[in-house]
Amino acid sequence: MGEFLPDYLIREQAAVGALVVFGVLRVIGAVLAYQRGWRISTMERCFIGAALLYCLPQLFDLLTHMSSTHAAAAELEGKVGGCALALVVAPVVGHKLGYE
């Protein structure tokens, strides 16, 4: 039998990955929106949609494969937490940089 990662490690890795990806992309999106005169609320909706698409594969795995849900559930929880944290904290960073 192979070694399995504990759920908390899967959850933490997914959360940190989502936090970095969406935090950085959200700040870059704010810079582009500021330079091109786009509305920040539109960019925010786009990033919420992107976060939903980012979490969709684990949600699909969780709903279709009921026998092996531990890893999919842990990864989904991590991704949702990381995305939510990034989409809450990144506007603060963008505001401090002067783009929002």
Cα pseudo-dihedral 48, 51, 57, 59, rounded to 10? -60
Q: What pTM, to 2 d.p., does this model score?
A: 0.80
Residue 71: predicted pLDDT:
78
Residue 72: predicted pLDDT:
80
Q: Which two structure tokens, joined as six digits, stand for 81?
A: 């937490």
Q: Where are the domains of the chain?
A: 7-97
Residue 53: predicted pLDDT:
94
Residue 2: predicted pLDDT:
47
Residue 58: predicted pLDDT:
86
pLDDT 10s digit of each residue in the chain, 100 long?
A: 446 778 888 889 999 999 999 888 888 888 888 889 888 888 889 999 999 999 998 888 888 876 667 778 888 899 999 999 888 888 887 778 776 6
